[in-house]
C-alpha cells in the first residue's frame, strides 16, 4: 500500500519535473528569494531561479528520473516503498540543486543527494560490498563537501552574498576568487568522482542498477558539471582554477578509461566510463570558453541518455541473469543464448555502447566532437590547456572505443577461438559455477523495464542532432579514426580469446589500497588511541584523583590509632611546624 503510494508519487514527481521544465521553457531568467535570515553582514536563506540551464537540467533530470522510476516498477519488488521514496527525494534534491540561486539551497540539495545515494547504494544492505560501498561513497563525497562548504564561505563572505545570481567575479578579490573556486572544485571533484576522489564511484555499483543509472546519468555526478556551468563566470575568472580543473580532468579521463578497460563487470566498466566521460565534460569546461561550456552541457545531455540507457541495460542483465559479471554472463554467451534471449536489451545496449564509444551518427559522437572542436579552437588560440585537453580527449576517445567494443563483444558474442569456454574470466571468480546454467527460462524483461530502454535508446541517437549539425570535418574524421583505432585491438584480442589485463590496471593503480593505508588505517589507529587516551590518560587522572582520595582517607584512618599520645604528639609537632611555617612565609 505504502509502496504503491510512493511508486505513484515517484513517477508523478519525475513527470512533474518534466512538466515544469516544459512550462519554464522560454521564460526569461528570474530569481526569487525566501526565508532569509540576516547573520551579521551576510544573509542566510534560500533562493530559486530559472534560466536556460535550469530548464535544460530539469528536463534531463525529469526524463531520466521518469525512466528510472518506471523501470524500477519492474525491476524492484522488495523494500519498494523506501526505494521509491528515496529515489524521489534524490530527484528532488537534484532539482533543488538545479533551481537553486542560493548557495545554501544548492548545498542542501548537493548533500541530500549524497545521503540519498548512500541510502540507495546500501539498498541491498545484506550485502557486504553494498554496505562498504555506500559508506565509502558518503564519506568521500562528504570530505569533498567540506571543501565545498568552505568554498561557499570564501566566495560568499568575499562577495558579501550567498546568492548565485549576485556573485560578480569582478567584485571579488582575485585571491579570494581563486581560493573559493578551488575549494568549490574540491567538492565538485568529490561529487563527480574525479581524481583523486574517484574510488567511491566504482564501489557504489552494488546498488540497484536503476539507481546507478540515476546517479550516473542525471543526478549526483552530473551535479558537479552543472555547478561549474552554473558558476561559469566565477570559475572562468580564475585561470589557476581552470588550469587545475583541466589537469584533473585530463588525468581522470585517461585514468578512468584505463581502469574501465580492465574491469570485468559490466557495471564497473560503465562506472569508470562515467568518470571518464565526466572528465571530458570538465575538460571542456576547463577551456573557459563559451564553446567549452556549451560542449560540456551538450555532452552532459547526451551522456545522460546513453549512460542511463547502459545502466538500465546492465540492470536488465542483473535482473534477468542475476549478475553483470563477465564471468557469469559468459556462461550464457558461450552458448550464444544471451543475445537471443534478450533481443531488446541487446539492441538498446548496442546503441548505448555505440553512443558511448562515439561511433559516428550516435549522440555521443556529436557531443564528443563538439568538445574536441572547442578544444581545437582554444588550442588554436594558443592555449596550452587547449592542446592538452585536445590530446587527452582524443586518447580517451580511443580507449573508450576499446572498452566499449570489449564489453560488447565479450558479453554478447561467443568467441570462436575459445570454443565455448568462458574466456579469460574464470580466474575472477574461482568459486563460480562453470557448468552451463539453465538458460531455458532466460527471457527479456517486462515491458515496464524495456520501455525506458527504448526511449533512452532513441535519445542516445536523436539527441546528437538537436543541437544542429555543425561538424568540423577534420576533427570529426580524426575522432572517427581514433575510434577505429580503439575498436580494432579490442576485436583482435576478443577474436583470439585473450583479455590481457595488466595488474596495475586491474588494481586500478593501487589507489584504493593506498588510500586505505594512508587514511583509513591511521584513522583507525587514532580512534583506538583516542579511546585508550580517554580511558588511560584522561580517565586515569580522574580515577587517580578518586583513588588517591580513597587512599588518603585510608591513611587518615590508619593514623587514628586510638592512642591519645600520638594525637598529642601530632598536635605539638603541628604547633612547632606552624610556627616555623609562618616564620618562613613571613620572612
Partner 1 sequence: MTTALFAVAAVVAVVSAVLVVTSRRIVHAALWLVVTLGAVAGCFGALHAEFVALVQILVYVGAIVVLVLFALMLTKAPTNPLPTLTTARSPFAAAVAGVLALLLGTGVVIAFGKEKIKPVPAGDAETVGTAIFKTWVLPFEVLSVLLLAALIGAIALSQRKSGES
Partner 2 sequence: MITVANDDFAAGVLLAILALPVLAALALWALPVQLGERLAALYGAVVSGLVLVGSLLLWTPANGWIAYVSGGETLAPGEQVKPLHGVTDVPWIPSLGVRFHVGVDSISVPLIVLTALLTFLCCVYSLKITPRIGRMRSLVALLLVIEAGVIGAFSAMDLVLFFVCFEIVLIPMWLIIDIWGDDHDAPGRKRAATTFVLMTVFGSALMLLGFLLVFRQAGTFDLVQLTNSPVLDGHGVPLAAALLIAVGLAVKVPLWPLHIWLPDAHAKAPTVGSVILAGVLLKLGTYGLIRILVPVLPDATVTIAPYLGGFSTVAIIAGSLACLGQTDVKRLIAYSSVGHMGFIGLGIATLSPAGMKGALFANIAHGIITGLLFFLAGAIKDRHDTSDLATIGRALYARLPRIAALLTFACLASLGLPGLAGFWGEMLVLLGAYDPADSLPRATYLVFMVLAGLGTVLTAAYFLRLVRKLCQGDPAEHPAGAFAVDLSRIELITWTPLITLTVLLGVWPGLLLHQWGSL
Partner 3 sequence: MTLTWTDWQAIAVPLVLAIGAVAVLLIDAFWRSSPAQLRHTVVTLLTGAVILFGLVFVWAQRDDFKPAFCRPAVEGPAECSLVFEPLTAGLWGVLLLGGLGVVGLSAYRLLAADIPVGEYHFLLLSALVGATTLAGARDLATVVIALEVVSLPSFALVALRRDRRGSEAAMKAFLVSVLSTAVMLFGISYLYGVTGSLYLTTIANRLTGLDPSMQRVAFAAGLFVIVGFAFKIAAVPFHGWLPDTYAGAPVEVTAFLAVVSKSAGVAGLLVLVITGLAPDGSDLRLVVAILAAVTMTVGNLAALRQREAVRLLAWSSIGQVGFLLAPLAVGDAQAVVGYLAAYVVVTLGAFGAVAVVQRHRPSGLLADYRGMVRSEPGLAVALIFFLVVLAGLPPGLAGLFTKFAAFQAVIDAHLGWLAIVMALNVMIGLAVYLRWIAELFRLPADDPFAVDIETPAVAMISLFAAAAVVVSILPSTLFALAT
All three cell numbers of 164, joined, read 548565485
C-alpha pair distances (Å), 421 with each of 328, 338, 349, 514, 557: 12, 15, 23, 35, 87
Distance in Å, CB of 586 to partner 3, minimum:
5
569 belongs to the binding site for partner 1 (CB under 8 A): yes
Q: Around Cβ 376, how many Cβ atoms within 10 Å?
A: 21
Give how far the C-alpha of residue 243 lies from the chain's centroid of Cα atoms, to the nearest Å.
22
**Could you give the CA distance from residue 98 to residue 261 in angstroms, rounded to a whole number?**
33
384 belongs to the binding site for partner 1 (CB under 8 A): no
Distance in Å, CB of 219 to partner 3, minimum:
56
What 367-370 contacts at long range (C-beta under 8 Å, 24+ apart), as own/partner pairs, is: 367/295, 367/298, 367/299, 367/301, 367/302, 367/303, 367/463, 367/464, 368/280, 368/299, 368/393, 368/397, 368/479, 369/471, 369/472, 369/475, 369/476, 369/479, 370/291, 370/294, 370/295, 370/298, 370/299, 370/467
441 belongs to the binding site for partner 3 (CB under 8 A): no
Query: Exactly one of 39, 170, 469, 586 binds partner 3 (CB under 8 A); which one?
Result: 586
Q: Count residues near partner 3 (CB under 8 A).
A: 27
Query: Which among 227, 288, 221 has a CA at the least distance from the CA of 256?
Result: 221
**Could you give the CA distance from residue 171 to residue 86 in angstroms, rounded to a whole number?**
40
Query: Exactly one of 56, 57, 100, 149 binds partner 2 (CB under 8 A); which one?
Result: 149
**Could you give the CA distance from residue 84 to residue 34 in angstroms, rounded to a whole number?**
29
Using a 10 angstrom Cβ sphere, with 0-12 exposed, 13-18 middle and 19 or more buried, the burial of residue 564 is: exposed
**Could you give the CA distance from residue 255 to residue 296 in angstroms, rounded to a whole number?**
19
517 belongs to the binding site for partner 2 (CB under 8 A): no
- By CB under 8 A, what part of segment 508-567 binds partner 1? 565-566
Strands (E) in 211-307, as ranges, are: none
Distance in Å, CB of 238 to partner 2, minimum:
19
All three cell numbers of 348, joined, read 538498446
Q: Which is nearer to partner 3, 23 or 568 (CB)?
A: 568
115 belongs to the binding site for partner 2 (CB under 8 A): yes
585 belongs to the binding site for partner 1 (CB under 8 A): no
- By CB under 8 A, what part of segment 327-356 binds partner 3? none
Distance in Å, CB of 568 to partner 3, minimum:
6
Query: Exactly one of 572, 578, 581, 582 binds partner 1 (CB under 8 A); which one?
Result: 572
Distance in Å, CB of 533 to partner 3, minimum:
24
Q: Which is nearer to partner 2, 148 or 232 (CB)?
A: 148
Query: Exactly one of 35, 520, 538, 581 binds partner 3 (CB under 8 A); which one?
Result: 581
For residues 561 to 580, the per-residue mask of contacts with partner 3, x marking binding by CB under 8 A and - elsewhere, is: -x-x-xxx-xxxxxx--xx-
Q: Which is nearer to partner 1, 146 or 570 (CB)?
A: 570
CB 159 within 8 A of CB 216: no
**Could you give the CA distance from residue 521 to residue 511 in angstroms, rounded to a whole number?**
14
CB 184 within 8 A of CB 152: yes
**Could you give the CA distance from residue 438 to residue 421 in angstroms, rounded to a whole number?**
16
Query: Exactly one of 16, 44, 347, 434 binds partner 2 (CB under 8 A); which one?
Result: 44
Provide the binding-site residues for partner 2, judged by CB under 8 A.
Answer: 35-40, 42, 44-45, 82, 104, 107-108, 110-112, 115, 118-119, 122, 125-126, 131-132, 134-135, 138-139, 142-143, 146-147, 149-150, 153-154, 157, 523-524, 526-531, 533-534, 538-539, 542, 546
Provide the binding-site residues for partner 3, judged by CB under 8 A.
Answer: 549-550, 552-554, 556-557, 559-560, 562, 564, 566-568, 570-575, 578-579, 581-583, 585-586
Provide the binding-site residues for partner 1, judged by CB under 8 A.
Answer: 565-566, 569, 572-573, 575-576, 579-580
Amino acid at each position: 500500500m505504502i509502496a504503491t503510494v510512493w511508486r505513484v508519487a515517484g513517477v508523478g514527481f519525475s513527470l512533474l519535473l518534466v512538466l515544469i521544465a516544459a512550462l519554464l521553457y522560454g521564460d526569461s531568467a528570474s530569481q526569487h528569494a525566501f526565508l532569509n535570515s540576516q547573520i551579521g553582514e551576510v544573509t542566510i536563506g534560500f533562493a530559486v531561479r530559472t534560466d536556460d540551464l535550469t530548464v535544460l537540467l530539469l528536463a534531463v533530470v525529469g526524463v531520466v528520473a521518469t525512466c528510472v522510476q518506471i523501470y524500477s516498477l519492474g525491476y524492484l519488488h522488495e523494500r519498494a516503498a523506501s526505494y521509491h521514496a528515496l529515489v524521489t527525494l534524490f530527484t528532488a534534491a537534484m532539482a533543488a540543486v538545479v533551481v537553486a540561486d542560493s548557495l545554501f539551497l544548492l548545498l542542501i540539495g548537493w548533500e541530500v543527494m549524497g545521503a540519498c545515494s548512500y541510502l540507495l547504494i546500501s539498498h541491498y544492505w545484506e550485502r557486504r560490498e553494498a554496505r562498504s560501498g555506500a559508506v565509502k561513497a558518503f564519506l568521500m563525497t562528504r570530505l569533498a563537501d567540506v571543501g565545498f562548504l568552505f568554498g561557499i564561505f570564501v566566495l560568499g563572505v568575499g562577495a558579501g552574498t550567498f546568492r548565485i545570481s549576485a556573485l560578480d567575479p569582478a567584485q571579488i578579490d582575485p585571491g579570494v576568487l581563486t581560493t573559493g573556486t578551488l575549494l568549490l572544485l574540491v567538492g565538485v571533484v568529490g561529487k563527480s568522482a574525479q581524481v583523486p576522489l574517484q574510488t567511491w564511484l566504482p564501489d557504489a555499483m552494488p546498488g540497484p542498477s536503476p539507481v546507478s543509472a540515476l546517479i550516473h546519468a542525471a543526478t549526483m555526478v552530473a551535479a558537479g558539471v552543472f555547478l561549474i556551468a552554473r558558476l561559469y563566470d566565477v570559475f572562468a575568472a580564475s585561470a589557476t582554477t581552470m588550469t587545475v580543473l583541466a589537469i584533473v580532468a585530463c588525468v581522470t579521463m585517461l585514468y578512468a578509461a584505463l581502469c574501465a578497460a580492465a574491469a570485468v563487470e559490466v557495471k564497473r566498466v560503465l562506472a569508470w566510463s562515467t568518470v571518464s566521460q565526466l572528465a571530458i565534460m570538465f575538460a571542456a569546461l576547463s577551456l573557459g570558453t563559451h564553446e567549452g561550456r556549451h560542449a560540456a552541457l551538450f555532452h552532459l545531455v547526451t551522456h545522460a541518455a546513453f549512460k542511463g540507457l547502459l545502466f538500465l541495460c546492465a540492470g536488465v542483465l542483473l535482473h534477468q541473469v542475476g549478475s553483470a559479471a563477465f564471468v557469469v554472463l559468459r556462461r550464457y554467451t558461450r552458448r550464444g543464448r544471451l543475445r537471443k534471449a534478450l533481443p531488446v536489451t541487446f539492441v538498446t545496449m548496442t546503441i548505448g555502447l555505440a553512443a558511448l564509444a562515439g561511433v559516428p551518427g550516435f549522440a555521443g559522437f556529436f557531443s564528443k566532437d563538439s568538445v574536441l572542436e572547442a578544444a581545437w579552437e582554444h588550442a588554436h588560440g594558443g592555449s596550452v590547456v587547449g592542446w592538452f585537453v585536445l590530446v587527452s580527449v582524443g586518447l580517451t576517445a580511443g580507449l573508450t572505443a576499446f572498452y566499449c567494443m570489449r564489453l560488447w563483444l565479450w558479453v554478447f558474442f561467443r568467441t570462436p577461438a575459445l570454443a565455448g569456454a568462458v574466456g579469460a574470466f574464470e580466474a575472477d571468480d574461482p568459486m563460480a559455477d562453470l557448468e552451463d546454467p539453465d538458460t531455458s527460462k532466460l527471457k527479456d524483461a517486462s515491458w515496464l523495464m524495456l520501455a525506458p530502454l527504448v526511449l533512452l535508446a532513441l535519445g542516445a541517437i536523436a539527441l546528437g542532432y538537436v543541437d544542429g549539425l555543425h561538424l568540423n570535418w577534420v576533427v570529426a574524421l580524426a575522432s572517427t579514426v581514433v575510434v577505429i583505432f580503439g575498436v580494432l585491438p579490442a576485436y583482435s584480442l576478443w577474436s583470439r580469446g585473450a583479455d590481457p589485463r595488466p595488474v596495475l590496471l586491474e588494481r586500478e593503480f593501487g589507489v584504493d589500497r593506498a588510500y586505505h593505508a594512508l587514511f583509513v588505517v591511521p584513522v583507525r589507529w587514532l580512534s583506538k588511541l583516542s579511546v585508550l587516551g580517554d580511558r588511560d590518560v584522561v580517565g586515569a587522572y580522574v580515577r587517580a584523583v578518586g583513588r588517591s582520595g580513597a587512599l588518603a582517607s585510608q591513611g587518615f584512618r590508619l593514623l587514628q590509632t586510638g592512642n591519645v599520645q600520638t594525637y598529642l604528639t601530632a598536635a605539638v609537632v603541628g604547633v612547632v611546624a606552624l610556627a616555623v611555617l609562618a616564620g618562613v612565609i613571613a620572612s
